[in-house]
Amino acid sequence: MTWEAPMRLALAEARTALAADDVPVGAVVLDEAGTVIATGHNTRESEGDPTGHAEVVALRAAASARGEWRLAGCTLVVTLEPCTMCAGALVLARVDRLVFGAYDDKLGAVGSLWDVVRDRRLNHRPEVLAGVLATEATALLDDFFARHRATAPPAGT
């Protein structure tokens, strides 16, 4: 399967987060047949929820759609390398495959800083495919943070 189409859906979700001035990260969950069963984007700003990461939002919606917390057979497609919380959540949900776009050198937990999903001490290790449409995902994030730096008040004021 090619992962560009689901990643484009995740990128569309990431753009939705921009409306709430949240970090543009989007995610989709696909079932075994490749059908989208859930989507999510960052909601930390709009909901005031520190766990409102795109992956957690999408995993919750997928569990609700399936009627159970186990997401065996599913694929999580996300625009940015998951952090430790999100990597842990997808391991605990038994997601079979993780597909992500941009690497996160500051918080990434799928190879950049940590590698939670491949830790042999855990009872589940999903397949990982990285770098899908990374240029587009990175550009979306870079533009967002450049705008925020340009409009941020000077430090100490």
- What are the residue numbers of the active site? 55
Helices and strands, counts by H and E, the chain: 5, 5
H or E stretch including 77?
strand 75-80
Q: Which two tokens stand for residue 105?
A: 């050198």
Please tell me the distance from the alpha carbon of residue 98 to that of residue 128, in angstroms, as a whole number.
5
Residue 36: beta bridge partners?
30
Strands 127-130 and 97-102: parallel
Instruction: Confirm or deny that 148 is annotated as ligand binding.
Output: no
Name every residue whose Cβ is closer than 8 Å to that of residue 116 and which is 6 or more positions away in sequence.
82, 84, 87, 88, 91, 109, 110, 122
Q: Which two tokens stand for residue 8?
A: 């484009």
Instruction: Confirm or deny that 74 is annotated as ligand binding.
Output: no
Instruction: Confirm or deny that 86 is annotated as ligand binding.
Output: yes
Q: Which amino acid is at 82?
A: P
Binding residues for Zn(2+): 53, 83, 86
